[in-house]
Amino acid sequence: MATVYKSTSKLGKSVQLKFQLTQHERDKDLLALIVKYLNCGSLQTSRSAKDLQVTKFNDIYNIIIPFFVKYPISGEKTKDFADFVKVAELVKEKAHLTKDGLEQIAEIISGMNSKRK
């Protein structure tokens, strides 16, 4: 997931990338093993579910993205992952620090997940 949100930055907006994997509470041990295997992320509780969340950009860029490049996602999520990677590349290139870059990122995000047509 990627979001553009209001902030106190010079442009008034910032970008946050977040990888999240949600499972039922009963699968918390599995999620803990994934955190240990990847050596990044944390577990959060959300109602009767557990979320594995990775928000640190370096972990997303250097661990999560290469993992899913090596072990590709299938189905509709493939398109969202490709957009996620595009946004990560723009952030890596520091495009998010410019008005045009933020607009480009917002455009990509506007078509991700449930907003995809």
What are the two backbone dihedrals, phi and then psi, of residue 46, each rounded to the nearest 5 degrees? -135, 105
Range of the domain at 55: 2-115
pTM: 0.84
Query: What Rg value do the Cα atoms of the chain yield, rounded?
Result: 15
Chain-centroid distance, C-alpha 9: 21
* Tens digit of each residue's pLDDT (9 = 90 or more) over 25-46: 999 999 999 999 999 999 998 7
Q: In the block, which residue shows the tokens 């970008």?
A: 15
Contact, 11 vs 23, CB < 8 A? no
* Tens digit of each residue's pLDDT (9 = 90 or more) over 59-87: 999 999 999 999 998 888 898 899 999 99
**CATH number of the domain bearing residue 90:** 3.10.28.10
Query: Is pLDDT at 96 greater than 90 in this prediction?
Result: no
For residue 45, what are its two tokens? 């509780």
**Segment holding 35, helix H or strand E:** helix 28-38
| Total domains present in the chain | 1
Strand partners, 54: 19
Question: Using CA atoms, how far apart are residues 115 and 55, in angstroms rounded to an integer?
Answer: 22
